[in-house]
């Protein structure tokens, strides 16, 4: 027998039982046991299927919301990095900010700006600009983007990598496990370039990820670099 106090509470607020999924499942299961094994409750089966569909919809809803929040966070991150990139008034300060504040905002462990040049040899004036700037021979960008598989060139390439040499990353080469490669077009008559974002986390940049935000960042970076190259 149900205790009087509990019975009175159920009669006073029956909606509380309807809103509790575990209690309703227990009541339905008890009702099925009371009907016997030779009776099929079609209504109960239909309710179970509806409940399963509802759970799938709720999971999808949570995934969509999580993706929307992640996309918003990524957008804010790119916007902050762009504002930091636009602050410097000199090219040397620009490179320092790129390796410092911008790299920290984008949460990458290494940044390299690749500029192709037809001049052979290293310009002593470039040494004081630090390790961020990497001057390469014509065609280096296309070869590095294509990789060993000769993949088609894209504006943004995301891939997991284990650098075979320290040519690009220097002493950080042994720690880099994924990279984002942003192909740069500096305008007619100029050789192309590339912005390299390296990460120690092998899952930070993967080929299955979207590239819209990084493509936008690359577009702003191109226009900023044209100002320094003019």
Q: 145-156, pLDDT tens digit by residue? A: 887 566 677 899
Alpha-carbon span 187 to 28, nearest angstrom:
71
* 120 pLDDT higher than 80: no
Domains of the chain with bracketed CATH = 89-229 (3.30.450.40)
Answer yes or no: are the C-beta atoms of 118 and 192 closer than 8 Å.
no
52-66, 74-88, 102-116: range with lowest mean pLDDT:
52-66
Report field, pTM of the whole predicted structure over 0.75: no
Local structure of 51: helix, strand or coil: helix
Region label for 75, one of left (φ > 0), alpha (ψ between -120 and 50) or beta (otherwise):
alpha
Alpha-carbon span 117 to 136, nearest angstrom:
6
Q: 126-184, pLDDT tens digit by residue? A: 545 668 888 889 999 998 988 756 667 789 999 998 887 888 888 888 899 999 999 99
**Higher per-residue pLDDT: 99 or 228:** 99
Local structure of 43: helix, strand or coil: helix
């Amino acid at each position: 027998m149900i205790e009087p106090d509990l019975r009175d509470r159920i009669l006073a607020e029956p909606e509380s039982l309807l809103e509790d999924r575990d209690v309703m499942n227990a009541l339905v299961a008890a009702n099925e046991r009371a009907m016997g094994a030779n009776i099929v409750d079609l209504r109960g089966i239909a309710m179970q299927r509806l409940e399963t569909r509802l759970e799938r919809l709720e999971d999808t809803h949570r995934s969509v919301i999580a993706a929307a929040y992640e996309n918003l966070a990524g957008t804010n991150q790119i916007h902050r990095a762009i504002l930091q990139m636009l602050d410097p008034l000199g090219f040397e300060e620009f490179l320092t900010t790129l390796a410092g504040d911008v790299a920290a905002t984008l949460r990458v462990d290494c940044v390299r700006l690749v500029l192709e040049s037809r001049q052979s040899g290293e310009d002593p004036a470039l040494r004081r600009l630090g390790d961020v700037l990497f001057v390469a021979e014509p065609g280096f960008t296309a070869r590095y983007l294509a990789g060993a598989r000769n993949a088609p060139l894209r504006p943004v390439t995301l891939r997991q990598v284990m650098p075979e040499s320290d040519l690009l990353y220097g002493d950080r080469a042994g720690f880099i496990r994924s990279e984002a490669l942003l192909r740069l077009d500096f305008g007619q008559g100029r050789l192309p370039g590339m912005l390299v974002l390296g990460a120690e986390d092998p899952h930070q940049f993967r080929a299955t990820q979207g590239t819209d935000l990084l493509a936008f960042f690359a577009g702003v970076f191109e226009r900023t670099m044209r100002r320094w190259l003019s």
